[in-house]
Structure formats: C-alpha cells, structure tokens
Amino acid sequence: MITRWLNDKTIRGYLWQAAVLISLVVTLVFFVRNASENMVKAGIASGFDFLWRSSGIDVPFDLSGYSPSDTIFALFWAGVVNTLFVSALAIILATVLGFLIGLARLSSHWLLSSIAGAYVEFVRNIPLLFFVVFWYFGVIASLPQPKDSVSLFGLFFLNNRGLTVPRPLDGTPFIWAWFAIIGLAFLQWLVSRYAASRRAKTGIGFPSGLMALVMLGLAPVLALMAASFWTGWDVPVAGKFNLRGGTVLIPEFVALLAALVTYSAGFIAEIVRGGLLAVPRGQREAASALGLSHGQTLWLVVIPQAMRVMIPPMTSQYLNILKNSSFGAAIAYPELVSVFMGSALNNTGQAIEIIAMVLAVYLFFGLIVSFAMNIFNSRMALVTR
C-alpha cells in the first residue's frame, strides 16, 4: 500500500511539499531559538514592550500628528505614513512621466525620439543613489533663499528650504470626498458584475465602460474639486524676508520624490514602449480603415491592448518605488528606515524586533500593491481562467 502511494504522483507531490514546509519550519525555529539564547546570554531584553515607551525623538516632517513625547509605536507609524506618502506620489508622477517619455520614444519626430531615448539609456545605467544625492545637493541646495523663492502660479514657492504649498484649514471635506470615491469604486464593481451577468444570460450589452469612465475618472476629480471649494486654504504669501502661511515640504522630501520620479520614469518608459510595439500592426491598420485618426487609434485601440502587456512589469516598478523610498535615509528624510531602523534602533537596541517590523511593513504593503495590480490585470486580460 505504501508503495502504491509513493507511485501516485499527486500523493508524492504532497509529500514533497510537506517535507519542504517542515524543513523551513525547523530552520526558522532553530534560528529563532539560537537568537533568543544569544540575546539572553548578552543581557539584551526581547519583546515588543519598548514600543510603548516615550520616544523623545524629533521628526522634522510628519503627517501623522506625532510629537517627541509620544510612544515609539507612534514614531513607527509616522515613518510608515511618510514612506507611503512619498511612494504614492512617486508612483503617480512616475507613471505619467514614464508614459509621456515612452510615447516620445515612438514619435516620428527624430529630435524628440532621440532625447527620450538618451534619457532612458542614461537613467537605466545610473544608480538611484546618484539621483537622490544629485537632487538634494546639486539642485535643491542651489536654489535661492526663501525671500527670492521661485514662484509657481503664485501658489507654490520653491527655495532651498523646500517647497511651500497651500494648506487646507479643514480636512473634513476631503475625508468625505475619499469616502465618496471608495463608494463609487464599489458601485462600479457591482455594475461590472451586473453587466457581465446580463451579457452571459441575455447577450445584451451594458455601458459599463462609460460608467467606469464617469465613476472612476470624472467623479473622483469632481469630488476632490468640490472638497477644495468647500474648505478654506492657508495660501503662502511672499514676505520681505520669508514666506508666510502654507505648509513646507522639506528639501529631503522634494529631493527624494524627484529622484524616485525621474529614475523610475525611465524604466516605465521602456515598459510603455515595449507594450505599444507588442500590439500587432494590423490593429492600427484596421483602425485607420475605420476612419479613426492617429490620436483616436492610439488611445482607443493601441493603448488598451498594450495595457495587457504593460501591467505585469509595471507592478514590479511600483514595488521597486515602494522599496526604493528607503533611500531617503541617505539624505535624512524621515521615512520608515530612517526614523525607526535608525533613530529608534539606536535608542532601544531592539534590533531583531525593529528589523522584523520594518520587513513586515514592506511585505504587507508590497502584497497590497501586487494584489491590486493583479486584480486590474485580470480585468484587462484577453483570456480569463
């Protein structure tokens, strides 16, 4: 009987998987016990009780309401928020810039295509750390003093102390706007399921694509614009020696954001170019035969089909942006690695716990990004399983 089980491929596969799993568990237990015994011998305390001590660490840029009198866990959360903030902005801006550069590379205009190609080749052969240092010491540090700030539309002021932007006096309208956007996204999901069910049962289509454009494209923009009108703004004003009002985005944040955007855009541009070239030429010819213009062919025929090729590698780039935000530690931007693995680790000495928490944060949010992009990829796939 045992011989018959071993000859069964399915049972043999389960046995191999169980053996690998047991080996991993035994290895993990061995290292954990070994580390615990060494910490006891060295007189180093273990556990997570240190998270509730007062941190006493100042954070120069904070979006979570943290203060030095708060706990170390509050410091940890401040680092998480700062990391997510710069990563989310970098993902959005790098995607837009990467799309533009990728389209420019395929342009029939020789000069535009050559400049885009040179930019991509330069970015892909230079380390990210160079971009971070260049933007911080080469660009931001060389900007004028606050009294001579570079004004953008009279609302934004850029100087060597960072970027000063308008600050909302009340964030409640924006909270309601985001709730509305989440509700619209859920409603669109229900509509898409209804449309698929209706098509399968009756063969009659439903304009779910148009509704998606309205509810996921136009409506969120209108919701955020309405929230902007409903709240007051503290607009920065240029004084004789300094700026008054607004919120200052510190130079470290501006430099890190610029580095992540300009660096990642070069890789995204290649993904966009490869995705567009993967669309068969016959699709363009068919669109031209139907009387579509070049712009209509690009946005209505080519890009939707290219997205199926671009989404998987784009997911990797988004994950890289999230992880590369840790380069902010090189210029003292208070992201997770800088404030928690740096300041908190030096103050507490709880190396294993702090490193484990940092790894868990990157793993957790990385899985969220992958999960969201996989859902989007499944919606765009030509063949569903």
pLDDT digit string, tens, across residues 19-58: 888 888 888 888 777 766 666 666 666 667 778 888 788 8
- Provide the β-strand partners of residue 244: 237
Res. 181 pLDDT band, cuts 50 70 90:
confident
pLDDT 10s digits, 47-64: 677 788 887 888 888 887
- 81 contacts: CB under 8 Å, gap ≥ 6: 62, 63, 64
Compute how many other C-beta atoms are within 10 angstroms of the C-beta atom of residue 295: 8
- Is residue 2 over pLDDT 80? no
Q: Strand locations in 245-306, DSSP E?
A: 247-249
- 64 contacts: CB under 8 Å, gap ≥ 6: 74, 77, 78, 81
- The tokens for 321 are 């942006």
pLDDT 10s digits, 336-357: 888 888 777 777 777 778 888 8
d(Cα 135, Cα 121) in Å, to the nearest integer?
Answer: 19
pLDDT 10s digits, 199-237: 777 766 666 556 666 666 677 778 878 877 887 777 777
CA 254 from centroid of its chain's CA atoms: 16
- The tokens for 366 are 């990385």
Compute how many other C-beta atoms are within 10 angstroms of the C-beta atom of residue 340: 26
CA dihedral sign of residues 249, 253, 255, 257: negative
CA distances to 91, 147, 237 from 165, rounded to whole Å, are 20, 15, 10
Q: Name the more confident of 325 and 307.
A: 325
- The tokens for 333 are 């931007």
- For 136-157, letters b (16+ CB in 10 Å) and e give beeebeebeebeebeeeeeebb
Asked if residue 71 lies in contact with residue 53, where contact means CB atoms within 8 angstroms, the answer is yes
CATH topology of domain 52-169+249-380: MetI-like fold (1.10.3720)
Q: What are phi and psi of 251, to 5 degrees?
A: -55, -35
Give the helix/strand (H/E) hosting 77.
Answer: helix 72-105
d(Cα 62, Cα 79) in Å, to the nearest integer?
Answer: 8
d(Cα 222, Cα 8) in Å, to the nearest integer?
Answer: 61
- 204 contacts: CB under 8 Å, gap ≥ 6: 198
CA dihedral sign of residues 30, 35, 36, 38: positive
Please tell me the total number of residues recorded for the chain in this structure.
385
DSSP string of 153-184, one letter each residue: TTTEEEETTEEEE-EES--HHHHHHHHHHHHH
Q: What is the pTM of this model?
A: 0.79
Instruction: Lowest mean pLDDT of 113-127, 150-164, 206-220, 311-325, name the range.
Output: 206-220
Q: Strand locations in 155-292, DSSP E?
A: 156-159, 162-165, 167-168, 233-234, 237-238, 243-244, 247-249
